[in-house]
Chains A and B, each alone.
Chain A
Amino acid sequence: MTTLAPKAAGLPVEALGAVALSSAIRDAVAMGEERLVLMLRFSGLPRARRFGTRAELLREAWEPLNSTARVRSFKLPGGDLVAIGLPNASEALERHRQILFSMLEAEEAQQAVHLLRLPAQAAAVMAAVEDSLGMVAAMRAMALPEPESRAADAAALAAAERGLAAADLSFFLRRRKVCWLEPGGHNTRLFWEDRRVDLTEVCERLLPGCDISLTPAFGQRLLKSIDRRHLRDLTRPEEMRDMRRLALPLRLESLFSAEFLRLDAFMAESQRQKMILGLAAEDVLAAPELFMLARNFTEARGYQLMLEVSSPFAATLMSSLRGGFNFLRLQWSDDFPAADSPEAALLRDKLPQAADHIIMAGADRPAAIAWGWEAGIRLFQGRLIESQRPAG
């Protein structure tokens, strides 16, 4: 039996066996060395023969080859067994071929048991080993999805950017209330205004007929343009004059744009403190070094940071980020586990923020608010919140 390096978790001996065999065969062929190869291919047998007692007996019959001199035996991922021997081991290999033949029906044996010679029959041996590695089959299992709608190309993106430059941004911007909402309806207060665009809506208008999820990077690029436009608009005197608390989702790179730096210089610290800058978890993890810089910058200048996650799964992965953000913004969806389930309790434990610093967005249905209340969340945004008449 071939000696294997210590096993890493998730790394089955069979996979190491196939790799070792693949190289051993190619090494031998490249160097023109003669070898004999005995193969027992369970994949060539009918399904019933591949498992159970009959298969066990075949494996037992193979067992002595694991300790035969001048022979190395390999177990492959599909269960196939291969022994490779020096020419002077031919007797042992031939004897085992006969034993295996005697245990199978003639036709089955023809399919499953092969004694081949290297280098002459190298192609057949390599094909069999490749087959047992399973990659070709795995490739077949994966059919590329045929998208129903068109992916945007760069020309379409250029046209969309021209369209955006000519459009009135306020047409796309959605201003939504974020309210403090307690069970029983007491104490309802407006906390801040959330201003963002809906990318799907923007793309329907600017990239008609294209599915932006097929080219997510183009979506990011459009959002960056929108960020810059929006930041420029915020320096207008009428915006600056009566600035209220405002939540603004931004792409990480937008924090270093000329527009943001200009706005930053424009504002007094008291105004910066009213701004809650939202960063998507995906964006943070795509450029962690840039995020560190952004965090130091925004913290030093007095802004508040809000981490935005798209699913409860993502929220549970980010509990290490507790220290880096003032708020966490969850987006309600059907992926949230039922409020009284153990999964929900687990999720609540892992939320990377104290409950009173979490915003549940997408509160269009009572279920979202109910789930939030159960978790201690009091800040909500969504269609149901728009109709609230907060005091103050």
Chain B
Amino acid sequence: MPQQRSASSALPVSQASIQDALRRAMRDERGRAALRISPGDQPEAQHLAFALSRETASVKGGTLLELAPDDWLLTELPALEAGKLHALLTKILGPAAAQLLPLPASKGVLASILGGSRVPSVLEVPPAEPVPPLGLDAALDRLLPGQVYQRQGIVIASGGPLPRLVFQRLVLDEAALRQALGAYAEDRAFLHHARALLHKRALEALGDEGTRKSLLGGGPIAPLMLDLPASLLPAPPEPSGDAPLPSAAPALYATLALHEAIALPNLASRREALHQESWGIAIAGLSAASLGLVDAEALPADWLVLEWSPALDDTASLKALRRLDPARLVLDGCDGAAALSWGLSQGIQLFAGPWIEEVIAARRMEKCDASAGCTRAECRARGLATSPQGRIGCHRPLLLEAVMPEVPA
């Protein structure tokens, strides 16, 4: 292709200058250092590391090279500046983000790069351009809840032999949503907008019997947690003349994102009013990162959904967790037995996530007399599906509808 030819004809020039820069850095002159930088894969961290390194390099010399996507090299700086930049980068990005290579002592490293099979290139981190909104409306119009929602199960486990289903949760499959949105997903605001719009569509779909059955794969089996944008939280009911009925257990839990929940000044009183209408409040978005930022014990919610990650076992997270009532927590995103046993060790009893879906599918297949032709992955996917197409192939739709077979008495 002509484009490629013109690129390769330009290559020798920049390759020559890269090799020059590396050779120059290897000269026998003391009081200098190179920096090896690993900013990680977060785009914001890359922009930051690039801007700060370039700022120093443009004043003090040295060339910024990309050896691999997460492996950059600033060929040389005077030792003082190199030390300052190293201190700055590690302070911002963590101790693993930058490595100081004193020169000429470390020139072997540069030599191996120079002689290596991988050709370095001049580092460029182009600024993120805002994604234009044109066409977003059409992309969102095409998007149906059944394409991007999952019907998850939340189980109670107490370390005993068999977990049991206690809630269902209609939740957005973030990966599917990003895929459906394409480039629009790169803009956080558009992603938030799409989520809010889908939450509204799912709520509308649940209000109609036909679409409700299509989404949930049948009738409701368990109290349902439903993600809602704060603006759609039901208004408090009109006070009625009747004495209030003894309030029943909520059948629906409006699941609010943490950052939206804190913006509702009267959440506590609304929650009480909603209980009268069989609505409860759950708050999602607690994680190892957010636990230390918010006093979650003061959140007026029936349930707090905590996202599993190994970082929850860090001292700071454990300290924040100790202030929470574990009986109010749902550990979401459980991806293996380790998550479950960590949760149990903290007194948590409710669990959800990919590993739980595996357990549910396995239990369903154990009970099912038509499972011979199905794989676990198929049964799991059909259980998570929120559209009739997603359930095609199942010969025991009632068992699928029931999510998880009952423990025999």
Contact = CB atoms under 8 A, between A and B. Distances in A.
Contacts of B298: 316-317
A20 B164 contact: yes
A158 B397 CA distance: 46
B120 to A, nearest CB: 24
Contact of A314 (B237, B263, B289): B263
B249 interface: yes
Interface string A1-44: 01101101111101110111011111101110000000000000
A77 B164 contact: no
A99 interface: no
Contacts of A288: 287, 289-290, 293
B160 A5 contact: yes
A233 to B, nearest CB: 17
A317 B235 contact: no
A200 interface: no
Contacts of A220: 188-189, 192
Contact of B223 (A133, A285, A290): A133
Contacts of A10: 302-303, 327-328
B44 A293 contact: yes
Where chain A touches its partner, the secondary structure class is helix
B137 A153 contact: yes
A257 interface: yes
A23 B187 contact: no
Contacts, number: 283
Name the residue in B294, B298, B367, B399 with the highest tally of chain A Cβ atoms < 10 Å from its Cβ: B294
Interface range for B = 35 or more
Interface in B73-91: 88, 91
A258 B127 contact: yes
A145 B204 CA distance: 11
Contacts of A256: 43-44, 47-48
B3 interface: no
Contact of A23 (B47, B91, B402): B402
A91 interface: no
A324 B140 CA distance: 38
A16 B51 contact: no
B81 to A, nearest CB: 14
B222 A154 contact: no
A282 B293 CA distance: 11
Interface stretch (A56-64, A100-108, A208-216): A208-216
Interface stretch (A179-187, A189-197, A305-313, A372-380): A305-313
Contact of A300 (B92, B189, B200, B237): B92
B115 to A, nearest CB: 35
A282 B259 contact: yes
Interface stretch (A135-143, A237-245, A359-367): A135-143
A221 interface: yes
B278 A285 contact: no
B325 interface: yes
B108 interface: no
B278 A137 contact: yes
A23 B127 contact: no
A9 B401 contact: no
Given A16-B166, A23-B403, A157-B133, A285 B48 contact: no
A286 interface: yes
B192 A217 contact: yes
Contact of A313 (B192, B265, B285, B328): B265
A285 B293 contact: yes
A10 B154 CA distance: 15
Contacts of B219: 22, 126-127, 130
A158 B158 contact: no
A224 B190 CA distance: 12
A291 interface: yes
A390 interface: no
B92 A296 contact: yes
Nearest to B136: A154
A163 interface: no
Interface in A340-387: 350
A30 B396 contact: yes
A321 interface: yes
Interface string A312-326: 111011111100100
B48 A293 contact: yes
A318 B295 contact: yes
A350 B298 CA distance: 11
A136 B350 CA distance: 24
Contact of A144 (B130, B136, B192, B203): B203
Nearest to A298: B92
Given A22-B402, A30-B397, 11 more contacts: A8-B350, A9-B327, A16-B156, A133-B222, A142-B279, A144-B204, A261-B47, A281-B259, A286-B259, A289-B42, A317-B295
20 contacts: A5-B158, A16-B156, A23-B403, A137-B278, A154-B140, A216-B196, A217-B196, A221-B190, A256-B47, A258-B128, A261-B48, A264-B51, A265-B51, A288-B293, A292-B289, A293-B48, A296-B93, A300-B88, A317-B296, A319-B295
Interface of B: 42-45, 47-48, 51, 55, 88, 91-93, 127-128, 130, 132-137, 140, 156-158, 160, 164-166, 187-193, 196, 200, 203-204, 206-207, 212, 218-224, 231-232, 234-235, 237, 248-252, 257-260, 262-268, 277-279, 285, 287, 289-290, 292-296, 298-299, 302-303, 320, 325, 327-328, 349-350, 367-369, 396-399, 401-406, 409
A-B pairs, top 8 by smallest CB distance, nearest first, are A258-B127, A26-B402, A134-B251, A9-B327, A154-B136, A288-B289, A217-B193, A311-B265
